[in-house]
Structure 1
């Protein structure tokens, strides 16, 4: 059979048949024209137990290897569809009746003018790492003859001269056969680091192979490629050779480096992230334990950063975070770490602190003060002049914990303490702070449950016209019917709703409950639509929602109430954040018929320049001025000034917190006749409010 092939196609065919006979992997050669088996090697006969005569001259579909017709049809369909098979696992019938699991490779080859399929089967009955490497080596060896997609080189084992290269080697490295055949790799400058070559050669000789050895190689045009080299000793005829595969992994290494960097760094600022900070903390804690050093963890939070995002947009907010990261990096040593944990939270790890705990604390305090000053310096971002403050909580490894988790938790707790006491300051962790944090977390969890269980209630405080002694409206005030402690006022929980974001859900409920209340009053004919309005408080966070206008419109439509019966109370702080957005939303709502009141006027950031731009109908004089207006001349003058200003701007007035007849008399002297307060009634439940509507005004004082 071998003589016949050689007579038709020459020495190359003879070499291939001879090579099949030497390979330790089972091989079968099938002629493509008629799918007839033309050769099997001795390893094939040994593996399956069938004599060669049972295969040679038979059609591939008639072989005794197939376990079932379905297996045969599926296998041939796969082969004819793709033209090749790589690492396909299947079981085949042996001569002794057993089946044997094999790993199959099938490739198209040409011998002269004829097309053939070379099938190789590897027994995987007892897989081991050595068998796996052998299988990979055999697959690479076979691929050399079928135009492998990887660069291959055949070296003479004794002289180390190149005897053959494949097409892919030329494509990747640029060397033509005439450039390299007959030369060693050292002779044409293939190695980037020739001094590493002896160690690699010794490793090859010692281990009899190389597996994915990292080597930097030089292309013909001078570029450096990161490669993984795999080599085996093989026998071709009587010649001992070294077959080497050179896999270009330059792009892969670059991607791996980028992925690794991204896994440990913040995408926006390129600072270390929580994962890398944790790793460095562990290292420095271990180092400090061995050498008697300590470290300090400074937890940063930008004060009211959300206002930047809400008023100027997230692009501007991102630019602020990048500027803050640059300022922090510029103020620390190279040995220290500046990390961003997310949002506006930064952490600085100050390492190598020596001396007594008091000295370490003083060093940390001085560093924190300098960093606070750096962050608080004015900045210009996208044409906006900004000046932000920050809060810093500090934990020391010598005092507050010996694990990364403890230090981060305690520094965060100290930060919370700063924020709770007014922000823009520095605080070290103290054990009692943990109690405050735990209480806050407990309160937040209970509020979430309250939203789920429907524990919130609205109470209503009447607004009275003292001239007519008639109730003209009311303010809806939120209360919490706690399952254990009973009715709770907003002073204990409103700030948590705001800071946690639950105010959005709570505010949505208040809006609908208030509209529903107005609808019930109208149904019972307790109010007239043109003589009564209900005020509800809108939080800044709620107002800044993109769909806030639509929410209000939907609530009014759902409960089918006259628009003029609803009044929205906004705080002065809303006015100074994105004034254009504020004016646009207020005008849209005003066009719908909604009226606006400025709540707690005079206590915040009031400015006539803002006030004259807003479609405001009513000012509410804050109760802090009303309390002492009859005893303190300054408060009295402030109240007079607010009344005069409102009158000049054609705005209505309501005085809050009126508790005495003297206060009411003073207000009436100043031509302010509408008020709410304990002098008439506290905020009451719906039933009690309805009773007030149905009876004459009776002064409580």
Structure 2
């Protein structure tokens, strides 16, 4: 084949090549030819390129690029794998990989330039770079701790900022090391199972794992892991989400749900759960358990006298003593108030042996609780009552055992407190009667079945009624009139005394208004006394309630006298004095009821704004034939005179008793010698012309 034929074949091949080609004569740098692939790649037609000087071609991005290429071609005559961008007809640029070779055609030295389109690779590289940049940004700046592990070696390849903040490790501490190398696992023995799960499932999702930070802190984490490819490296990307605080909060919430806030003892819910478990366990293994129900005797007095803060401290001390007195396997729980329950578990033996174990434990605990205690500077000594129910005898459900232990406790309290009792079936009858009475009393309050009767208070010198004591009676729809001795303690213990007591205040004020309106009394010569219970007196709004009742009836305040017991005097003396002074400022007077039967502290009497002492009828009964009682009465009278207090004797039933009192200069009295407590209508009749003591007594008795 001739040389010309070869050149012709070359040109034919050049036109068919899929690579953009441009042939330039070296002598004058004129473009001789471009192939169709060149036109398709850059958009320029042959007429835009052919016969033009290489320096004048429109493909150059700028003059600097053109000069550098021409200088390079002139110096070396060839180019191998040069990456460059060239301008297209539409103004865009194309990334290309350029080859330039020198060849001879028709005896002329030429340069053949070939440009391979690199757009797809460039786009892929750009996408990869962008992806890597995004991954890097997410990884480094993520709000969660991240670790990148080499998959095969499990060595740490990188950590992010948050991992450093949470775990305390900086990159130079950990990169190139495994988690085991730096002691990251709290429980290394669990690692194999976790890794096996990751390999099996190809990922982890919120797997709970505990780790140890650099400073030794234990961190509860939820780990999520995935396999990823970074370049040619297979890696494991793991997120270590710190949920320690969340776990702590959840644990606190769960703990609070099952424990008493004051003592941190198990509450009723947790006690019942444990009781259910031990009952099932005992049934399988032939073991018994005992339930001891505790109630602190007269604990309310502590709150009333020393305040609830001191009362709380007492409960905490009692809980400590109870916990110290039982085994770790046993449970001490607080149900609320001053009620505690102890569950003795794993008791073996016959019924007698289990009962003896429970009794002995209860006796030891009773002694522990009753030991003197020092609370906030106060020396206290409490007693408690304990009711016991045994799983082998008294029930096989938590509800039955709690109910029967509570019933046994009630039996102890009903028989004098400070003792221990096992549940007995007949106790349930007593409890049922008590519940029935409480129900009837609540209904009585709603139906307004309570009424006041009035016992006159008489001046023996004039035989005139100068006042009365209002006494609560229950007009039962079926049983008729019921004495307060039957129900008053239930009103107190159940808290219904608050509503009943306020009703007494309202009814008494209304009765005073009625007597004044009828002209049966005058404001300066008559006063009505009402008894105030300790619980009622301790109400925060007690003063406001009394003042509102007086204001509603528009009665003179000196017509109302409040009788309080000596117990109220010594319980929270500051609060007592403050309330009494507030009421005294508006004109209300005070009497000490049943004086001589309680604490009778002269130091309290000096501080309290008391107007009158009532000598208890227990001293009056035998004052005419018991020298001791006579001396007590004389002492009370002498003390009252020295403190400039008025006096009244209760329970005067005979002329001899009245004569003795008058000899001691005590002339005001109340009692059956003049009249028992009578209805409001009968009392209004007594306020008329007095028929004399003997006749009045006979009239009321018959």
Question: TM-score, normalised on structure 2?
Answer: 0.76
In the alignment, does 2:622 pair up with 1:508?
no
After superposition, give the CA deviation of every residue in 1:368-387 in whole Å (9 maximum; x if it has no partner). 11111111111111111111
Which residue of 1 is the match for residue 558 of structure 2?
564
In the alignment, does 2:684 pair up with 1:696?
no
Which residue of 1 is the match for residue 375 of structure 2?
381
Which residue of 2 is the match for residue 411 of structure 1?
405
Which residue of 1 is the match for residue 483 of structure 2?
489
Partner residue of 2:338 out of 327, 344, 350: 344
Which residue of 2 is the match for residue 658 of structure 1?
652
Q: Please give the alpha-carbon distance, in whole angstroms, between the structure 1 residues aligned to 2:649 and 2:175.
A: 100
Partner residue of 1:296 out of 287, 290, 293: 290
Q: Please give the alpha-carbon distance, in whole angstroms, between the structure 1 residues aligned to 2:465 and 2:534.
A: 28
8 Å contact kept, 2:332–2:340: yes
Over aligned residue pairs, what C-alpha RMSD do you find? 2.9
After superposition, give the CA deviation of every residue in 1:403-433 in whole Å (9 maximum; x if it has no partner). 1111111111111111122211111111121
After superposition, give the CA deviation of every residue in 1:172-191 in whole Å (9 maximum; x if it has no partner). 33445565555543455443
Q: State the secondary structure of the residue aligned to 1:541.
A: helix
Q: State the secondary structure of the residue aligned to 2:501.
A: helix
Partner residue of 1:257 out of 241, 251, 254: 251
Residue 535 of structure 1 and its aligned partner are, at CA, apart by 0.7
Residue 514 of structure 1 and its aligned partner are, at CA, apart by 0.9
In the alignment, does 2:429 pair up with 1:435?
yes
Give the aligned length.
Answer: 581
Which residue of 2 is the match for residue 14 of structure 1?
128
Which residue of 2 is the match for residue 445 of structure 1?
439
Which residue of 2 is the match for residue 550 of structure 1?
544
8 Å contact kept, 1:163–1:181: yes
After superposition, give the CA deviation of every residue in 1:163-217 in whole Å (9 maximum; x if it has no partner). 5544433443344556555554345544344443222211222233222222233
8 Å contact kept, 1:461–1:683: yes
- List structure 1 runs of 4+ shifted beyond 6 angstroms: 1-10
Cα separation, partners in 2 of 1:440 and 1:143, compared to 1, 3 Å: farther
Cα separation, partners in 2 of 1:170 and 1:654, compared to 1, 3 Å: closer
Q: Please give the alpha-carbon distance, in whole angstroms, between the structure 1 residues aligned to 2:430 and 2:459.
A: 44
Residue 632 of structure 1 and its aligned partner are, at CA, apart by 4.4
Q: State the secondary structure of the residue aligned to 1:406.
A: helix
Alignment of 1:205-604 (within 5 A): 205-220=199-214, 223-234=217-228, 240-604=234-598
Question: TM-score, normalised on structure 1?
Answer: 0.77
Cα separation, partners in 2 of 1:12 and 1:451, compared to 1, 3 Å: farther
Q: Please give the alpha-carbon distance, in whole angstroms, between the structure 1 residues aligned to 2:604 and 2:175.
A: 84
Cα separation, partners in 2 of 1:170 and 1:466, compared to 1, 3 Å: closer
More off after superposition, 235-244 vs 301-310? 235-244
After superposition, give the CA deviation of every residue in 1:265-323 in whole Å (9 maximum; x if it has no partner). 22222222222222221222122212222111111111111211222122211211121
Q: Please give the alpha-carbon distance, in whole angstroms, between the structure 2 residues aligned to 1:220 and 1:366.
A: 53
8 Å contact kept, 2:221–2:244: yes
Q: State the secondary structure of the residue aligned to 1:493.
A: helix
Residue 7 of structure 1 and its aligned partner are, at CA, apart by 8.3
Residue 468 of structure 1 and its aligned partner are, at CA, apart by 1.3
Cα separation, partners in 2 of 1:218 and 1:12, compared to 1, 3 Å: farther
Q: Which runs of 5+ in 1 are unaligned?
A: 20-109, 112-140
Residue 261 of structure 1 and its aligned partner are, at CA, apart by 2.6
Q: Please give the alpha-carbon distance, in whole angstroms, between the structure 1 residues aligned to 2:488 and 2:310.
A: 29
Q: State the secondary structure of the residue aligned to 2:272.
A: helix
Q: Please give the alpha-carbon distance, in whole angstroms, between the structure 1 residues aligned to 2:183 and 2:455.
A: 91
8 Å contact kept, 2:408–2:427: yes
More off after superposition, 635-644 vs 384-393? 635-644
